[in-house]
């Protein structure tokens, strides 16, 4: 079964739908996305290592998670759904803003997204989906910024952009 993404303009107005694989490989087009950066009780960020099976940026460190909303699904509903599916916890994420970016992952593909950024707090034990997440860790903002500076090629571009907005 094919997966689709919602095509948008720079103001996040819907323009239609397109095949998810094509948009990320052969026909990069601006589409709607969601990313979330969760924190623990110490204020440390939860970052996840993407599965090696991912189409773009496999085995890179990213935000707590990212995805694409379904048609007629709010950013908050989308994030809550994927947090439950990927991390095994139920939280109420809060939308804090949006940003647009375009990035190429070597010869694997593209991201060109209007990305909604959400936050939330983790209080429960994580149960990560191993098909989506190879690993995870909690890290302070200062330590994460230092790690990104030392090894920028280990991190997905949307993590860097999200971190700048928090």
DSSP string, 56-97: SSTT-EESSEEE-PPTT--HHHHHHHHHHHHHS-----EEEE
> Which residue in 116, 114, 131, 147 sits closest to 47, CA to CA?
147
Q: Any idea where the domains of the chain sit in the sequence?
A: 4-164
The residue ranges of the chain whose pLDDT is under 70 are 1
Q: pLDDT tens, 33-64?
A: 999 999 999 999 999 999 999 989 999 999 99
Q: Which pLDDT does position 111 carry in this prediction?
A: 94
Calpha distance 55→161 (Å, rounded): 20
Q: Are the C-beta atoms of residues 122 and 38 closer than 8 Å to each other?
A: yes
Calpha distance 108→42 (Å, rounded): 36
Domain 4-164 has CATH 3.40.50.1360: no
Q: Which pLDDT does position 1 carry in this prediction?
A: 57
Q: Which pLDDT does position 26 carry in this prediction?
A: 87
């Amino acid at each position: 079964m094919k997966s689709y993404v919602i095509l948008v303009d720079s103001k996040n107005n819907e323009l239609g739908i397109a095949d998810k694989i094509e948009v990320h490989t052969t026909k990069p087009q601006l589409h709607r996305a969601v990313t979330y950066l969760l924190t623990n009780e110490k204020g440390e960020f939860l970052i996840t290592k993407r599965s090696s099976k991912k189409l773009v940026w496999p085995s890179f460190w990213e935000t707590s998670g990212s995805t694409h909303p379904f048609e007629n699904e709010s950013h908050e509903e989308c994030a809550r759904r994927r947090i439950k599916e990927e991390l095994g916890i139920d939280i109420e994420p809060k939308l804090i803003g949006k940003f647009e970016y375009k990035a190429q992952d070597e010869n694997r593909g593209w991201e060109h997204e209007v990305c909604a950024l959400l936050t939330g707090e983790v209080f429960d034990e994580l149960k990560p989906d191993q098909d989506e997440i190879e690993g995870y860790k909690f890290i302070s903002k200062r330590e994460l910024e230092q790690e990104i500076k030392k090894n920028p090629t280990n991190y997905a571009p949307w993590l860097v952009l999200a971190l700048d907005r928090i």
